[in-house]
Amino acid sequence: MKVLVSGAAGFIGFHLCKRLLKDNITVIGLDNINSYYDVSLKNSRLKELDKKSFKEKGQWLFYETNLEDERSIKTIFQDHKPTIIINLAAQAGVRYSIENPKAYIDSNIVGFLNILECARHFQAEHLIYASSSSVYGGNRELPFSENHEVNHPVSLYAATKRSNELMAHTYSHLYNLPTTGLRFFTVYGPWGRPDMAYFIFTSKILKGEPIKIFNGGKMYRDFTYIDDIIEGIIKVIKKTPKKDPYFLDKNRSASASWSPYKIFNIGNSSPINLMHFIETIEQYLGVEAKKEFMPMQPGDVEATSADINLLKNWTGFEPKTNLREGVRKFIDWYLEYYNY
């Protein structure tokens, strides 16, 4: 089995590549190493993956390229013919999509189209791709279910992720390409993204700077530890969607189709109040944060919560990491990485 992972230098991509390599699976990694956040962190992740033991076995190959570079992506597929594709590359960030919308169209729409085209032309066995809990938009019915309405996004980032789901279904239908979309819920942990709230909080608390807390702290997020996310992806790799010829005759699920297509929430299914999350960080740092309360930001939602029953029934997925353990592991990594 050859697995192509786009976004290999990213947070989730790095952890996934590391796990696959430890399982003796050949991995072709792609990333454009853009400057959306600290490039040195991305390079440090790649250095971890670029270990001699992996390279000697010929397991690890890396290409620095943009997904929207059609010729480059096609050449990589021609040369390696991956059987499994995991598309984690995307321009991330809800708030940044308001500042730089074009970046989201280039990476998340044009780039994903190139992945879909190569997947069908080179007959991939399974395409797994990152969607997001943001597709639920302003939905207030909790927990979020795959059967909830997702046609009212509140950010361009969310709109591109919903577009990915629709594009994937089209290719599953037209070309019999098995696709699985994963709606990630607030992933956190070591080697995380510096633009994420928990990372920013930790940095500012240690520097003695005030942290901005939006909506007066009345925010809930389904914080999901990275190891649980990776375990879920591994389980999904092993379960290729099949056609359901009786789909139209059933009480239809939005997660399924007559085509080989699936959509799943992947989260912790236990939302945490933002203030409690901050308190947990404070406890492990031994420092109380200076707090600056702010109004809700454009594109944000007050709460997210994942109903994960469909994924659990499909793969046996069961998150195991509680908040205290997850935050402790992140803080331990942060203090070591940044030499505190």
Run of H or E including 78: helix 70-80
CA dihedral sign, ordered 230, 82, 169, 8? positive
The predicted structure's pLDDT at residue 55: 61
pLDDT of residue 58: 66
Domain for residue 336, yes or no? Answer: no
Q: Is the residue at 214 inside a domain?
A: no
Look up residue 19 and give its two tokens: 């796990």
Provide mean pLDDT across the span 3-7: 98
Alpha-carbon distance of 280 to 262, in angstroms, equals 35
Structure pTM? 0.94
For residue 315, the model assigns a pLDDT of 97
Eight-state DSSP code of residue 72 = H
Greater confidence, 120 or 57? Answer: 120
Task: Note the pLDDT of residue 56.
Answer: 61
Distances in Å between the alpha carbon of 85 and those of 5, 11, 47, 78, 123?
6, 17, 22, 14, 11
Distance CA 263, CA 154 (A): 20
* pLDDT tens string 264-296: 999 999 999 999 999 999 999 999 999 999 898
pLDDT of 246 > 90? The answer is no
200 in any annotated domain: no
Specify whether the CB–CB gap between 261 and 168 falls below 8 A. Answer: yes
Picking from 58, 41, 48, 40, the residue whose alpha carbon sits closest to that of residue 18 is: 48
Largest CA distance in the chain: 60
Positive/negative CA dihedral, 96, 99, 102, 103: negative
How many structural domains does the chain have?
1
Q: Find the domain containing 72 and state its range.
A: 2-189+225-269+306-320
Tell whether 206 is covered by a domain.
Answer: no
The residue from 37, 96, 136, 157 that is catalytic is 157
pLDDT at residue 302 tops 90: no
Whether omega for the bond prior to residue 101 falls within 30 degrees of 0, making it cis, is no
How far apart CA 152 and CA 186 sit, in angstroms, is: 20
Q: 220 an active-site residue? A: no
Block residue for tokens 């989201």: 104
Inside any domain, residue 181:
yes
DSSP for 213-242, please give it.
EEGGG--EE--EEHHHHHHHHHHHHT----
CATH no. for residue 146?
A: 3.40.50.720
Convert the pLDDT of each residue in 164-185 to its tens digit.
Answer: 999 999 999 999 999 999 999 9
Domain assignment of residue 90, yes or no:
yes
Residue type, 145: S
Distance, CA of 75 to CA of 63 (rounded, Å): 11
The answer to whether position 311 is within a domain reads yes
Q: Long-range CB contacts (< 8 A, 24+ apart) of 69-73? A: 69/114, 70/114, 70/117, 73/30, 73/114, 73/115, 73/118
Percent of the chain predicted with pLDDT > 70: 97
CB 224 within 8 A of CB 267: yes
DSSP letter, residue 288: P
Q: Is residue 145 part of a domain?
A: yes
What are 64-112's pLDDT values in tens digits?
999 999 999 999 999 999 999 999 998 877 677 777 888 899 999 999 9
